[in-house]
Structure 1
């Protein structure tokens, strides 16, 4: 990825290891940082992202919470108001809905309603998307319901380097951040069903992660692949789908990894689409009212006179998440290649 600079002392990490490293760095660096959630303490989290942190920093800084997402969110907001910087894990994004009222009605509005007297510097970490055959209660991608809310930041990394740098920036941010972690990327992009993205992953500089402190801006997209024929706007897991599709099809596609969904790096998007004059929007979440619809609208508003073909959307189905048909549900390289051919024909 062109925006990633390989630092001295960087070593290969999985996204799980990179996220753990980010929390380790910030726990050591800032005494106000605390980490809590269901099973994140002694057990180290259901995906092991917090493994070993309680033993290193103690139960007063890394601790378990009851199975109450609303309670976790409310406690985190209260901690933030009183000067802490909590990192609250919601075990699966599918479980975040009971906490939605606290996040939207309290955390997101606090700075505005208090005339900047109070803020809520809290990070809500949560695994999202499919890839573990978890069915409709462990596989959802709810990013659109958070990008709609003024006062929240919404972030979704696509590689270990960005995951660590973005999480550090999120913890340091003075506003609440929804930090979405694609489960398919925790230990690499895909399994044996999709060999091409795995090959791209092993060569990617984003796997090399420095041990110490660094940050990645929360409002800056990355150009994952330079190209002139068309632009693919995407984020999270589907960055790798886009890269594989462009390589397999031999099409000179430019792939934009949004990284931060809101605030959005509109300048990078507009510059790319004005250059290529064609655009595809790609994400795993369902199509209707997905975040892709906002991207289509923005491209239409800012690039209308430069477009030479209709904007295409490639997304998940408008259905409850299918368990047995998980890999068919995912927008894979074949569907992206079909979309690229359509926009190039016009």
Structure 2
């Protein structure tokens, strides 16, 4: 009986709480609605002013991320109105006009990039990069900020040039030095070289070509960072005894010495085939590449260091 009464009390308390919530909900609905959204971002005060990006950095002040990848300042732009902007195309060598879509909370989109306005004045602009994935936009933003100065401000107030302002800082140099030291001690800590590995053939029988992306601003392919982050080299060896093709990674250390990485093909758990592939491709690396190619190691901020590259090696028998 006592258990039944306690249960009944709990049910009544729940009913009272539920009625309270319903009353609170209807009370809120009858109140004038407050708008928490900000106004659309406007660029009227800077329309017609030419701006150049002087640095692209994380909140910690570094232009390199934790993996040693450099965020390069690339943009030159001029706002034409609240719905159009002119951006310089490096491949076209001229300014191109793009639509500008404005959103709430200082968010806007142009040239297929989502950005958030953090600061606006006639002298400078600060944008935060936003991430868009699967039709969703993360308005919290990435830890990357673009700073642009007005060309007039750079020339007549700072009395300098964009190239000088875009130089890495001492803080960047010290950070890269720490990554270089780690990569020298442990090749598992290699990072992409800002100036990638260079191969110079000592014989006409071997040709080397590094793959280069062709920038196309209109097709949103103006970012060719893949060439820097994952350099790929196509190597042809002529007058071989047989046809062959191998694709694998190589770690080129700070002295230019090559170390075999891993094959880039699937063996479907066939361990014998995998072992044979690694053995033969290693012989090609040591018998041809190491003997007939002069290797200049990759470097970042003038410091040579171990970096990982991909090679595609094709053997062509003599006709």
> What band does the TM-score fall into relative to the shorter chain?
under 0.3
> TM-score normalized by structure 1?
0.24
TM-score normalised by structure 2 residue count: 0.26
Larger gyration radius, structure 1 or structure 2: 2
Larger strand proportion of the pair: 2
Greater share of residues in helix: 1
